[in-house]
Structure 1
């Protein structure tokens, strides 16, 4: 019966990140820098709030958009942090993680034949959903602009079929982000175009230098922008599966229909945990961010000394060195590193063809693991 499966689904590949992680899982004594899983525990007040929710029998359906108090807390949080203005009652949706937020946003706005522009190398979770919608992903090579999507690059790729642009900053896999000036240049270009911007800001609280800036805070862009965020990375709550969609009411009134018919609502218990995260735990990300920055500085200096070409990250918990001084193929280099040095990195090709010649290292691990892994890499390269 497999031949009857939707051909779009048949053509989708499992994430290259997971493919490589699974491939090397049977090797012994391997230090893995492959998965973007925070190594900090979920904050205690979040766990206590969830326990209380269970004890209080808060275990039934919620509003499709989520508890109003959580939407109010989310709106307040992004207002105080990023100067974003959204009404809790009709411009904020609670989703099952940022992944479902991505899915809902695309399924709401995309039709067959549309084009979506992505800066590459890029997180692999966008392209399959775009394809399932019958739309076409259009990758822009950012390897010559420090992995930043610029207005100049963007201008060359906009066509009459362009429906949306992805701004995934701070970036997975590169860790780079865009400044206010760079975002304003993009906003100026887009003023005369009816094009959606999907701004994936899941790593916004992990910005190392200055404050995160959202393109939706630029007045001319608010009506065109769908902001995606959540508590997975900021509060080490990946398994709780709580994300957020922020958009003007004329967009959310359609997105909530897609949400309703896909999951009804996010987990009530997880929502109560997220409420504690955004109220009692507003600053939970700060100590994590300080530690990630320390690890980033250490990894950056070590990799440069080893001879890698590296663009210094400004957020998230990834670094994306070029292996071109050592090897031409990302997958071969990463596999050899596992076999001969006991270190697992993600091949750059997991993040589109434009990642060839790079590898991703996640420093969401202890400093001891990071040091040992980099020591092994240095011995291997020598």
Structure 2
């Protein structure tokens, strides 16, 4: 008898996590692997944040918190998004939850079997999975390399049907590093209003921008009611293991999503929330320093990539990924496997990010400059041999 549910059977394992697990196994065997597979900063969480969490532990703050988050953190988040994103909210509009959890819960709260969700292709690996888990259908809008992977409003509108329920926006984008222009976001917002659609706005990389400017769709008049904005601290404060993020929306939307939170994780870790308060209210210098380092690494990685024959790449404006295309006649999954076994370099195959990711692969440059130099030296030799 097969006990696993059909909904689990029908979704693939995370392509990025699968590669990361394989890298960990190989490293445990003593193999020298240069890993460009995980979207995780190699920096240590800033010391002021760590100390705030330690003090919270020492004070005995180790019990349940309100399911939506502690008041101090909700207020800090509301103040931050008002200041940085122009979204007019109060703490009542905030749900403290891990960013990935926010995406899952939003999908489960609003999607029914048969609903359709418009999403960029290529796009982050988990969007497709959460849509299918809800019994809904992902509708891919192909992104064009020649257009800088900017989501086309015309293609979005062409994808709308009577079954469409939601549009997913991700800017800066994983895996492409594209920062959507404000006029593009405004045009897509008009489509959502015209067809009475929800928008899930994933803005987890909002502060990792090198050119262009971040614009939040929920800052537009009337859009807070139909937009669920998710973000967090993982990428810009090197807090991936802390699992602290948030969802921002109307009070009613937050109440609905919180029903799932109260029946699942109950609340985020108490002392991690105290650390998050310090992250938002304390000195921002470490965050700015990290973004400056990401830019240096972006420039180094991009320059080294341009020296490799058979590969070309758009220069990303945000996040910390390169998404190069290659001209070798090999499936991206097979390319990733072969590069790992032959060159001991871990990348993520483009196919993991959607049908139009085939012929590409993703490189995360959230690692040291020494690792970038060594890894790209290996990739250059590998591609020449290939």
TM-score under structure 2 length normalisation: 0.94
Unaligned ranges ≥5, structure 2 = none
Deviation string 1:154-175 (CA, Å, 9 cap, x unpaired) is 0110111111111011111111
Output aligned runs, 1:42-121, within 5 Å. 42-88=45-91, 90-95=92-97, 97-121=98-122
Moved more, 293-302 or 334-343: 334-343
Moved more, 263-272 or 205-214: 205-214
Tell me, yes or no, if the aligned pair for 1:49 and 1:276 is still in contact at 8 Å.
yes
Structure 2 equivalent of residue 12 of structure 1 = 11
Q: What is the Cα-based RMSD across aligned positions, in Å? A: 1.5
Structure 2 equivalent of residue 341 of structure 1 = 343
Q: Structure 2 CA distance, aligned partners of 1:368 and 1:230? A: 28
| Shift of residue 233, structure 1, vs aligned partner | 0.6
| Shift of residue 152, structure 1, vs aligned partner | 0.8
Moved more, 267-276 or 299-308: 299-308
Output aligned runs, 1:215-254, within 5 Å. 215-254=217-256
Tell me, yes or no, if the aligned pair for 2:72 and 2:277 is still in contact at 8 Å.
yes
| Shift of residue 15, structure 1, vs aligned partner | 0.7
Tell me, yes or no, if the aligned pair for 2:218 and 2:229 is still in contact at 8 Å.
yes
| Shift of residue 20, structure 1, vs aligned partner | 2.8
Moved more, 296-305 or 34-43: 296-305
Structure 2 equivalent of residue 32 of structure 1 = 35
Q: Structure 1 CA distance, aligned partners of 2:104 and 2:283? A: 28
SS of match in other structure, 2:201: strand
- How many residues are matched? 378
Tell me, yes or no, if the aligned pair for 1:175 and 1:318 is still in contact at 8 Å.
yes
| Shift of residue 210, structure 1, vs aligned partner | 4.0
Deviation string 1:209-229 (CA, Å, 9 cap, x unpaired) is 143111111214222110001
Tell me, yes or no, if the aligned pair for 1:168 and 1:199 is still in contact at 8 Å.
yes
Structure 2 equivalent of residue 143 of structure 1 = 144
Q: Structure 2 CA distance, aligned partners of 1:206 and 1:282? A: 13
Q: Structure 1 CA distance, aligned partners of 2:259 and 2:190? A: 32
| Shift of residue 283, structure 1, vs aligned partner | 4.4
Deviation string 1:101-129 (CA, Å, 9 cap, x unpaired) is 11111111111111111101111112222
Tell me, yes or no, if the aligned pair for 1:119 and 1:148 is still in contact at 8 Å.
no
Moved more, 27-36 or 222-231: 27-36
Q: Structure 1 CA distance, aligned partners of 2:375 and 2:67? A: 45
Q: Structure 2 CA distance, aligned partners of 1:263 and 1:20? A: 27
From 359, 373, 377, the equivalent of 1:371 is: 373
Tell me, yes or no, if the aligned pair for 1:321 and 1:358 is still in contact at 8 Å.
yes
Structure 2 equivalent of residue 269 of structure 1 = 271
Unaligned ranges ≥5, structure 1 = none
